């Protein structure tokens, strides 16, 4: 038996059957995608500190965005993508 943190016991064979059934109906375990802000920053080839200084974003805010503690407004992410795309491509 497997024991969860909350004390619940799981039978490994039953768990495997459940996961197989979910797979059969098209429900897969969701893979965590890399944070968009982190991808943008890395594409720019900048450290967090350099990115923070260049785009006037407080470093703690940037760290929180990249760690999914807080979420940046969508328009900010879109603007960063546009700006980074232009500077990387030129």
What does DSSP assign to residue 45? T
- Over residues 10-69, the pLDDT tens digits come to 787 877 777 777 777 776 655 556 789 999 999 999 999 999 999 999 999 999 999 989
| CA distances in angstroms from 8 to 2, 3, 26, 68, listed in the order given | 8, 6, 27, 29
pTM: 0.60
Q: Sketch the domain layout of the chain as residue ranges.
A: 1-31, 36-89
């Amino acid at each position: 038996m497997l024991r969860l943190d909350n004390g619940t016991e799981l039978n490994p064979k039953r768990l495997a059957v459940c996961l197989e059934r979910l797979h059969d109906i098209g429900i897969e375990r969701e893979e965590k995608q890399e944070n968009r802000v982190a991808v943008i920053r890395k594409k720019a080839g900048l450290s967090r500190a350099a990115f923070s200084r260049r785009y006037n974003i407080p470093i703690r805010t940037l760290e929180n965005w990249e760690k999914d503690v807080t979420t940046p407004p969508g328009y900010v992410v879109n603007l960063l993508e546009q700006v980074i795309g232009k500077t990387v491509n030129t």
